[in-house]
Amino acid sequence: MGFVHHTNYLKYFEAARLEWLSKLGISYKKMEEKGILLPVIYSEIKYLLPLKFDDIFVVKVGISELPVSRLKLNYEIEITKNKKICFGYVHLAFLNKFKQVPVRAPDNLTLVFKKNYEL
């Protein structure tokens, strides 16, 4: 069909999330080493237009609220300025790696979001 398969959009979201966190100075690897995991507990995508194989696109990532026990992310994929392909949401839970129980967001992470976003 010449279109990107719908399951790839979540992969694009994940790659953008890791790059976004890195730009904010947050290392997912270091978080895991300190015993905090971020498993996906919810995802939703609304497809507006198909993404084609040769399209050059941008994935925008943001938050609309400070994390407490979960990180709620908003995404948009655009191919040209204001030509939206899709938008979506992914929620990640903060989970203690060793006890496998939910925990609060680390204070340093919350401070980074407070510093970089007006919420």
CATH code (residue 46): 3.10.129.10
Tokens matching residue 25? 């100075």
Find, among 62, 43, 55, the residue nearest to 85 by Cα: 55
- Which residues of the chain have a pLDDT value below 50? none
Whole-prediction pTM: 0.90
| Per-residue pLDDT, 117 | 78
Task: Answer yes or no: is 42 within a domain.
Answer: yes
CA nearest to 20, candidates 76, 62, 67, 66: 62
pLDDT of residue 2: 86
Q: Is 39 domain-assigned?
A: yes
* 58, part of any domain: yes
Domain that holds residue 50: 8-116
Tell me the DSSP string of 16-58.
HHHHHHHHTT--HHHHHHTTEE--EEEEEEEE-SPPBTT---E
Angle, vertex CA 113, rays to CA 70 and CA 66, nearest 5: 40
pLDDT of the residue at 119? 56
The reply to whether 53 falls in a domain is: yes
59 within some domain: yes
54: in domain: yes
- The total number of structural domains in the chain stands at 1
Question: What is the structure's pLDDT at 43?
Answer: 97
